[in-house]
Protein backbone atom coordinates (compact mmCIF):
# COMPACT_ATOMS: atom_id res chain seq x y z
CA UNK A 1 0.00 0.00 0.00
CA UNK A 2 1.02 3.58 -0.58
CA UNK A 3 -0.72 6.85 0.08
CA UNK A 4 1.69 9.09 -1.80
CA UNK A 5 0.08 11.89 -3.77
CA UNK A 6 2.11 11.30 -6.91
CA UNK A 7 0.47 9.58 -9.83
CA UNK A 8 2.48 6.36 -9.53
CA UNK A 9 -0.27 3.82 -10.26
CA UNK A 10 0.17 2.31 -13.70
CA UNK A 11 1.86 3.91 -16.67
CA UNK A 12 0.84 6.39 -19.32
CA UNK A 13 0.37 3.45 -21.72
CA UNK A 14 -2.27 1.86 -19.49
CA UNK A 15 -5.96 2.20 -20.21
CA UNK A 16 -7.12 4.28 -17.25
CA UNK A 17 -10.67 3.60 -16.07
CA UNK A 18 -12.46 5.52 -13.33
CA UNK A 19 -15.27 3.61 -11.58
CA UNK A 20 -17.69 5.81 -9.62
CA UNK A 21 -19.21 4.48 -6.37
CA UNK A 22 -16.87 1.54 -6.81
CA UNK A 23 -17.75 -0.09 -3.49
CA UNK A 24 -21.28 -0.90 -4.67
CA UNK A 25 -22.25 -4.35 -5.85
CA UNK A 26 -22.01 -3.11 -9.44
CA UNK A 27 -18.47 -1.85 -8.86
CA UNK A 28 -17.50 -5.19 -7.35
CA UNK A 29 -18.97 -7.00 -10.36
CA UNK A 30 -16.92 -4.90 -12.79
CA UNK A 31 -13.81 -5.66 -10.77
CA UNK A 32 -14.54 -9.39 -10.69
CA UNK A 33 -15.05 -9.65 -14.47
CA UNK A 34 -11.65 -8.01 -15.00
CA UNK A 35 -9.76 -10.38 -12.70
CA UNK A 36 -7.10 -12.16 -14.74
CA UNK A 37 -7.08 -9.51 -17.47
CA UNK A 38 -5.90 -6.37 -15.71
CA UNK A 39 -2.57 -6.18 -17.52
CA UNK A 40 -2.46 -2.82 -19.24
CA UNK A 41 -5.31 -1.45 -17.09
CA UNK A 42 -5.22 1.07 -14.26
CA UNK A 43 -8.44 0.84 -12.26
CA UNK A 44 -9.25 4.01 -10.34
CA UNK A 45 -12.17 4.18 -7.92
CA UNK A 46 -14.22 6.79 -6.10
CA UNK A 47 -16.19 6.28 -2.93
CA UNK A 48 -17.92 8.38 -0.30
CA UNK A 49 -17.24 5.65 2.29
CA UNK A 50 -13.84 4.37 3.43
CA UNK A 51 -14.35 0.86 4.82
CA UNK A 52 -15.74 -1.17 1.88
CA UNK A 53 -13.24 -4.04 1.42
CA UNK A 54 -13.46 -4.16 -2.38
CA UNK A 55 -12.14 -0.61 -2.70
CA UNK A 56 -8.65 -1.83 -1.86
CA UNK A 57 -8.66 -4.17 -4.85
CA UNK A 58 -8.46 -1.15 -7.16
CA UNK A 59 -5.18 0.53 -8.04
CA UNK A 60 -6.17 3.97 -6.76
CA UNK A 61 -9.11 5.06 -4.63
CA UNK A 62 -10.32 8.61 -4.00
CA UNK A 63 -12.76 9.68 -1.35
CA UNK A 64 -15.37 12.01 -2.86
CA UNK A 65 -18.49 13.87 -1.70
CA UNK A 66 -21.83 12.15 -2.41
CA UNK A 67 -23.15 12.76 -5.93
CA UNK A 68 -26.08 14.75 -4.50
CA UNK A 69 -23.61 17.44 -3.42
CA UNK A 70 -23.54 18.57 -7.08
CA UNK A 71 -20.86 21.26 -7.34
CA UNK A 72 -18.56 19.70 -4.73
CA UNK A 73 -18.80 16.29 -6.38
CA UNK A 74 -18.25 17.72 -9.86
CA UNK A 75 -15.18 19.70 -8.83
CA UNK A 76 -13.63 16.65 -7.19
CA UNK A 77 -14.46 14.42 -10.17
CA UNK A 78 -12.95 16.83 -12.71
CA UNK A 79 -9.79 17.12 -10.62
CA UNK A 80 -9.46 13.31 -10.50
CA UNK A 81 -10.06 12.99 -14.25
CA UNK A 82 -7.31 15.52 -14.93
CA UNK A 83 -4.85 14.24 -12.34
CA UNK A 84 -5.24 10.58 -13.29
CA UNK A 85 -5.54 11.16 -17.06
CA UNK A 86 -8.75 9.13 -17.08
CA UNK A 87 -9.78 7.56 -20.40
CA UNK A 88 -13.31 6.53 -19.39
CA UNK A 89 -15.62 7.20 -16.42
CA UNK A 90 -18.00 4.36 -15.50
CA UNK A 91 -21.14 4.99 -13.39
CA UNK A 92 -22.38 2.33 -10.97
CA UNK A 93 -25.47 4.12 -9.59
CA UNK A 94 -28.50 5.74 -11.22
CA UNK A 95 -27.63 9.14 -9.72
CA UNK A 96 -24.21 8.92 -11.37
CA UNK A 97 -25.78 8.03 -14.73
CA UNK A 98 -27.89 11.18 -14.75
CA UNK A 99 -25.03 13.29 -13.39
CA UNK A 100 -22.57 12.16 -16.06
CA UNK A 101 -25.11 12.67 -18.84
CA UNK A 102 -25.71 16.24 -17.66
CA UNK A 103 -21.96 16.82 -17.32
CA UNK A 104 -21.42 15.61 -20.87
CA UNK A 105 -23.95 18.13 -22.18
CA UNK A 106 -22.44 21.00 -20.19
CA UNK A 107 -18.89 20.00 -21.08
CA UNK A 108 -19.07 18.41 -24.58
CA UNK A 109 -15.27 18.12 -24.73
CA UNK A 110 -15.55 15.51 -21.95
CA UNK A 111 -18.46 13.53 -23.40
CA UNK A 112 -16.30 10.91 -25.15
CA UNK A 113 -14.74 10.04 -21.77
CA UNK A 114 -18.10 9.36 -20.08
CA UNK A 115 -19.89 6.00 -20.34
CA UNK A 116 -23.35 7.40 -20.98
CA UNK A 117 -25.54 9.18 -23.52
CA UNK A 118 -27.45 12.44 -23.43
CA UNK A 119 -29.39 13.66 -20.44
CA UNK A 120 -32.95 13.24 -21.73
CA UNK A 121 -32.75 9.45 -22.22
CA UNK A 122 -30.81 9.22 -18.94
CA UNK A 123 -33.80 10.72 -17.15
CA UNK A 124 -36.13 8.34 -18.97
CA UNK A 125 -34.03 5.37 -17.90
CA UNK A 126 -33.88 6.41 -14.24
CA UNK A 127 -37.53 7.47 -13.77
CA UNK A 128 -40.05 4.65 -14.12
CA UNK A 129 -42.92 6.92 -15.09
CA UNK A 130 -40.86 8.57 -17.82
CA UNK A 131 -39.89 5.01 -18.85
CA UNK A 132 -43.57 4.09 -19.16
CA UNK A 133 -44.30 7.17 -21.29
CA UNK A 134 -41.25 6.50 -23.49
CA UNK A 135 -42.35 2.91 -24.09
CA UNK A 136 -45.87 4.03 -24.99
CA UNK A 137 -44.48 6.43 -27.59
CA UNK A 138 -42.22 3.74 -29.06
CA UNK A 139 -44.71 0.86 -28.81
CA UNK A 140 -42.56 -1.09 -26.38
CA UNK A 141 -44.29 -3.53 -23.95
CA UNK A 142 -44.01 -1.80 -20.57
CA UNK A 143 -46.00 -2.89 -17.51
CA UNK A 144 -49.23 -0.90 -17.16
CA UNK A 145 -48.51 2.00 -14.78
CA UNK A 146 -50.22 4.89 -13.03
CA UNK A 147 -49.13 7.89 -10.96
CA UNK A 148 -51.47 10.19 -9.07
CA UNK A 149 -54.71 9.99 -11.00
CA UNK A 150 -58.31 10.90 -10.23
CA UNK A 151 -60.65 8.63 -8.29
CA UNK A 152 -62.11 7.42 -11.58
CA UNK A 153 -58.69 6.77 -13.13
CA UNK A 154 -57.56 4.79 -10.09
CA UNK A 155 -60.74 2.72 -10.12
CA UNK A 156 -60.37 2.02 -13.83
CA UNK A 157 -56.77 0.86 -13.31
CA UNK A 158 -57.86 -1.60 -10.60
CA UNK A 159 -60.79 -2.79 -12.68
CA UNK A 160 -58.44 -3.61 -15.53
CA UNK A 161 -55.48 -5.09 -13.64
CA UNK A 162 -56.88 -6.13 -10.25
CA UNK A 163 -54.92 -6.69 -7.04
CA UNK A 164 -52.15 -7.22 -6.14
CA UNK A 165 -50.30 -4.26 -7.64
CA UNK A 166 -46.68 -3.18 -7.26
CA UNK A 167 -45.77 0.19 -5.69
CA UNK A 168 -42.27 1.51 -6.45
CA UNK A 169 -40.37 4.77 -6.05
CA UNK A 170 -40.18 6.40 -9.48
CA UNK A 171 -36.41 6.78 -9.06
CA UNK A 172 -35.76 3.77 -6.86
CA UNK A 173 -33.17 1.02 -7.23
CA UNK A 174 -32.24 -2.43 -5.87
CA UNK A 175 -35.89 -3.18 -4.95
CA UNK A 176 -35.68 -0.78 -2.00
CA UNK A 177 -39.04 0.60 -0.77
CA UNK A 178 -40.98 -1.60 -3.21
CA UNK A 179 -44.32 -2.91 -1.91
CA UNK A 180 -47.04 -5.26 -3.05
CA UNK A 181 -50.39 -3.62 -2.35
CA UNK A 182 -53.62 -5.60 -2.19
CA UNK A 183 -56.42 -3.24 -1.16
CA UNK A 184 -57.95 0.13 -1.98
CA UNK A 185 -56.60 1.90 1.09
CA UNK A 186 -53.02 0.99 0.29
CA UNK A 187 -53.53 2.07 -3.32
CA UNK A 188 -54.92 5.47 -2.38
CA UNK A 189 -52.17 6.18 0.15
CA UNK A 190 -49.49 5.16 -2.36
CA UNK A 191 -50.83 7.24 -5.24
CA UNK A 192 -51.16 10.26 -2.97
CA UNK A 193 -47.33 10.26 -2.82
CA UNK A 194 -45.82 12.10 -5.78
CA UNK A 195 -42.63 10.03 -5.80
CA UNK A 196 -44.42 6.67 -6.25
CA UNK A 197 -45.58 4.75 -9.31
CA UNK A 198 -47.98 1.78 -9.24
CA UNK A 199 -47.56 -1.00 -11.81
CA UNK A 200 -49.51 -4.09 -12.71
CA UNK A 201 -48.25 -7.22 -10.95
CA UNK A 202 -46.55 -9.39 -13.56
CA UNK A 203 -46.36 -12.58 -11.52
CA UNK A 204 -49.03 -15.11 -10.60
CA UNK A 205 -51.53 -13.32 -8.31
CA UNK A 206 -52.45 -16.64 -6.68
CA UNK A 207 -48.98 -16.75 -5.14
CA UNK A 208 -49.73 -13.50 -3.28
CA UNK A 209 -53.21 -14.70 -2.29
CA UNK A 210 -51.77 -17.91 -0.87
CA UNK A 211 -49.05 -16.00 0.97
CA UNK A 212 -51.57 -13.64 2.61
CA UNK A 213 -53.75 -16.57 3.65
CA UNK A 214 -50.76 -18.37 5.16
CA UNK A 215 -49.70 -15.20 6.96
CA UNK A 216 -53.18 -14.85 8.47
CA UNK A 217 -53.15 -18.49 9.57
CA UNK A 218 -49.55 -18.87 10.75
CA UNK A 219 -47.99 -15.41 11.12
CA UNK A 220 -45.31 -13.47 9.24
CA UNK A 221 -42.36 -15.58 8.03
CA UNK A 222 -38.92 -14.14 8.70
CA UNK A 223 -37.61 -15.14 5.26
CA UNK A 224 -39.62 -15.09 2.06
CA UNK A 225 -39.71 -13.70 -1.46
CA UNK A 226 -42.57 -13.17 -3.90
CA UNK A 227 -40.30 -12.47 -6.85
CA UNK A 228 -40.58 -14.87 -9.75
CA UNK A 229 -38.25 -15.53 -12.66
CA UNK A 230 -36.92 -12.35 -14.25
CA UNK A 231 -35.71 -11.81 -17.79
CA UNK A 232 -32.66 -9.55 -17.75
CA UNK A 233 -31.60 -8.05 -21.09
CA UNK A 234 -28.25 -6.24 -21.35
CA UNK A 235 -27.69 -4.10 -24.43
CA UNK A 236 -24.66 -2.13 -25.54
CA UNK A 237 -25.17 0.95 -27.73
CA UNK A 238 -21.82 1.94 -29.24
CA UNK A 239 -20.65 5.57 -29.52
CA UNK A 240 -21.77 5.65 -33.18
CA UNK A 241 -25.28 4.53 -32.19
CA UNK A 242 -24.93 0.98 -33.52
CA UNK A 243 -26.08 -1.99 -31.42
CA UNK A 244 -22.99 -3.92 -30.31
CA UNK A 245 -24.73 -6.73 -28.43
CA UNK A 246 -27.99 -7.95 -26.88
CA UNK A 247 -27.44 -10.38 -23.99
CA UNK A 248 -30.41 -12.24 -22.48
CA UNK A 249 -30.38 -14.11 -19.15
CA UNK A 250 -32.86 -15.46 -16.61
CA UNK A 251 -32.57 -14.90 -12.86
CA UNK A 252 -34.53 -16.06 -9.85
CA UNK A 253 -34.16 -16.07 -6.10
CA UNK A 254 -33.18 -19.69 -5.65
CA UNK A 255 -32.72 -19.92 -1.89
CA UNK A 256 -32.87 -17.59 1.08
CA UNK A 257 -29.43 -16.08 0.45
CA UNK A 258 -28.62 -17.06 -3.11
CA UNK A 259 -29.71 -16.25 -6.67
CA UNK A 260 -29.68 -18.47 -9.75
CA UNK A 261 -28.91 -17.19 -13.26
CA UNK A 262 -28.61 -18.78 -16.68
CA UNK A 263 -28.90 -17.99 -20.39
CA UNK A 264 -32.31 -16.98 -21.78
CA UNK A 265 -33.04 -18.46 -25.20
CA UNK A 266 -36.50 -16.85 -25.47
CA UNK A 267 -36.74 -15.04 -28.81
CA UNK A 268 -39.24 -12.58 -27.31
CA UNK A 269 -36.59 -11.29 -24.91
CA UNK A 270 -34.07 -10.74 -27.70
CA UNK A 271 -36.70 -8.97 -29.80
CA UNK A 272 -37.57 -6.62 -26.94
CA UNK A 273 -33.89 -5.94 -26.36
CA UNK A 274 -33.28 -5.05 -30.00
CA UNK A 275 -36.33 -2.78 -30.18
CA UNK A 276 -35.39 -0.98 -26.97
CA UNK A 277 -31.81 -0.58 -28.16
CA UNK A 278 -32.88 1.08 -31.40
CA UNK A 279 -35.38 3.37 -29.65
CA UNK A 280 -32.85 4.54 -27.06
CA UNK A 281 -30.08 4.90 -29.65
CA UNK A 282 -32.32 7.20 -31.67
CA UNK A 283 -33.08 9.16 -28.49
CA UNK A 284 -29.35 9.76 -27.91
CA UNK A 285 -28.40 7.05 -25.42
CA UNK A 286 -24.94 5.48 -25.59
CA UNK A 287 -23.38 2.78 -23.45
CA UNK A 288 -24.99 -0.02 -21.42
CA UNK A 289 -28.77 -0.35 -21.29
CA UNK A 290 -30.32 -2.93 -18.98
CA UNK A 291 -33.94 -3.95 -19.52
CA UNK A 292 -35.71 -5.79 -16.70
CA UNK A 293 -38.71 -7.88 -17.80
CA UNK A 294 -41.10 -10.40 -16.36
CA UNK A 295 -43.71 -12.65 -17.90
CA UNK A 296 -47.38 -11.94 -17.12
CA UNK A 297 -49.85 -14.77 -16.38
CA UNK A 298 -51.15 -14.52 -19.97
CA UNK A 299 -47.67 -15.29 -21.28
CA UNK A 300 -46.75 -11.78 -22.45
CA UNK A 301 -43.28 -10.46 -21.64
CA UNK A 302 -43.29 -6.93 -20.21
CA UNK A 303 -40.61 -4.42 -19.25
CA UNK A 304 -40.87 -3.04 -15.73
CA UNK A 305 -37.69 -0.93 -15.49
CA UNK A 306 -34.45 0.15 -17.17
CA UNK A 307 -30.88 0.78 -16.02
CA UNK A 308 -28.30 2.81 -17.93
CA UNK A 309 -25.23 1.01 -16.59
CA UNK A 310 -23.77 -2.31 -15.63
CA UNK A 311 -25.88 -4.05 -12.99
CA UNK A 312 -25.97 -6.57 -10.17
CA UNK A 313 -26.25 -9.27 -12.86
CA UNK A 314 -23.04 -8.31 -14.68
CA UNK A 315 -20.91 -10.95 -12.95
CA UNK A 316 -23.55 -13.66 -13.44
CA UNK A 317 -23.65 -12.90 -17.15
CA UNK A 318 -19.85 -13.12 -17.32
CA UNK A 319 -19.87 -16.47 -15.53
CA UNK A 320 -22.30 -18.02 -18.00
CA UNK A 321 -20.27 -16.85 -20.98
CA UNK A 322 -21.32 -13.26 -21.76
CA UNK A 323 -18.66 -10.56 -21.58
CA UNK A 324 -20.39 -7.18 -21.49
CA UNK A 325 -17.59 -5.28 -19.73
CA UNK A 326 -14.66 -5.88 -22.11
CA UNK A 327 -16.54 -5.03 -25.32
CA UNK A 328 -17.97 -1.90 -23.71
CA UNK A 329 -14.55 -0.57 -22.77
CA UNK A 330 -13.17 -1.48 -26.20
CA UNK A 331 -15.99 0.29 -28.06
CA UNK A 332 -15.63 3.45 -25.98
CA UNK A 333 -11.82 3.64 -25.83
CA UNK A 334 -10.59 1.75 -28.90
CA UNK A 335 -8.45 -0.45 -26.63
CA UNK A 336 -9.19 -4.21 -26.68
CA UNK A 337 -9.77 -6.04 -23.38
CA UNK A 338 -9.07 -9.78 -23.82
CA UNK A 339 -11.80 -12.16 -22.66
CA UNK A 340 -9.51 -14.17 -20.37
CA UNK A 341 -11.70 -16.87 -18.80
CA UNK A 342 -8.97 -18.57 -16.74
CA UNK A 343 -10.46 -18.57 -14.20
CA UNK A 344 -13.39 -19.11 -14.44
CA UNK A 345 -14.51 -21.41 -17.25
CA UNK A 346 -17.76 -20.64 -19.04
CA UNK A 347 -20.66 -22.18 -17.08
CA UNK A 348 -24.23 -23.19 -17.92
CA UNK A 349 -25.63 -21.66 -14.74
CA UNK A 350 -24.40 -19.62 -11.79
CA UNK A 351 -25.35 -19.14 -8.15
CA UNK A 352 -24.78 -15.87 -6.30
CA UNK A 353 -24.56 -15.91 -2.51
CA UNK A 354 -23.56 -13.60 0.33
CA UNK A 355 -19.98 -14.04 1.55
CA UNK A 356 -18.00 -12.34 4.27
CA UNK A 357 -15.20 -9.91 3.40
CA UNK A 358 -12.83 -7.71 5.39
CA UNK A 359 -10.64 -4.68 4.77
CA UNK A 360 -7.23 -4.16 6.37
CA UNK A 361 -7.82 -1.61 9.17
CA UNK A 362 -4.50 0.04 8.29
CA UNK A 363 -5.68 0.67 4.72
CA UNK A 364 -9.00 2.02 5.98
CA UNK A 365 -7.29 4.39 8.43
CA UNK A 366 -4.85 5.67 5.80
CA UNK A 367 -7.63 6.18 3.26
CA UNK A 368 -9.74 8.07 5.80
CA UNK A 369 -6.80 10.27 6.75
CA UNK A 370 -5.45 11.06 3.27
CA UNK A 371 -8.65 10.74 1.17
CA UNK A 372 -6.63 8.81 -1.41
CA UNK A 373 -5.15 5.31 -1.35
CA UNK A 374 -2.74 3.84 -3.89
CA UNK A 375 -1.62 0.31 -4.48
CA UNK A 376 2.16 -0.11 -4.63
CA UNK A 377 3.19 -2.04 -7.74
**What is the CATH T-level fold of the domain 15-127+227-374, as seen in this structure?**
D-amino Acid Aminotransferase; Chain A, domain 1 (3.30.470)
What gap in Å lies between CA 377 and CA 360, rounded to an integer? 18
End-to-end CA, the chain: 9
- CATH fold match for the domains 15-127+227-374 and 144-201: no
Query: DSSP class of residue 144?
Result: P
Question: Who contacts 109 (Cβ-Cβ below 8 Å, separation ≥6)?
Answer: none
**What is the CATH T-level fold of the domain 144-201, as seen in this structure?**
Dna Ligase; domain 1 (3.30.1490)
Number of H helices, E strands in the chain: 12, 15
Q: How far is CA 169 from CA 129, 195, 292, in A?
A: 10, 6, 16
Whether the CA torsion 80, 81, 84, 89 is positive or negative: it is: positive
Find, among 24, 240, 21, 20, the residue nearest to 117 by Cα. Answer: 240
Domains of the chain, residue spans: 15-127+227-374, 144-201
What gap in Å lies between CA 208 and CA 377, rounded to an integer? 54
Bond before 343 cis per omega within 30 degrees: yes
Per-residue pLDDT of the chain (377 residues; tens, 9 = 90+): 444 444 444 555 799 999 999 999 999 999 999 998 999 999 999 999 999 999 999 999 999 999 999 899 999 999 999 999 999 999 999 999 999 999 999 999 999 999 999 999 999 999 999 999 999 999 999 999 999 999 999 999 999 999 999 999 999 877 788 999 999 999 999 999 999 999 999 988 898 888 899 888 999 887 777 778 899 999 999 999 999 999 999 998 766 667 788 999 999 999 999 999 999 999 999 999 999 999 999 999 999 999 999 999 999 999 998 999 999 999 999 999 877 765 455 667 787 777 788 999 999 999 999 999 999 76
Reported pTM: 0.92
Return the SS3 of 19: strand
Amino acid sequence: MDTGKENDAGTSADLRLLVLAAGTGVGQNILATLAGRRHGLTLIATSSVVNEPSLFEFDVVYRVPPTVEGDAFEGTLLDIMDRERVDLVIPCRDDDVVFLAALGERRPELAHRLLCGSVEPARVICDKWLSAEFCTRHELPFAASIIGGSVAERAAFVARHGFPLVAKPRRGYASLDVYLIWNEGQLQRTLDQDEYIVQQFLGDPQVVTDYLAAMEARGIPLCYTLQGTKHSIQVLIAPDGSIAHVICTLTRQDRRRSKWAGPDTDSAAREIGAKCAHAFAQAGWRGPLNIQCQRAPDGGLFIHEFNGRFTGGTLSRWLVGFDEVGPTFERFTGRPIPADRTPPPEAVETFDCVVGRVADPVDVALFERDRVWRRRR
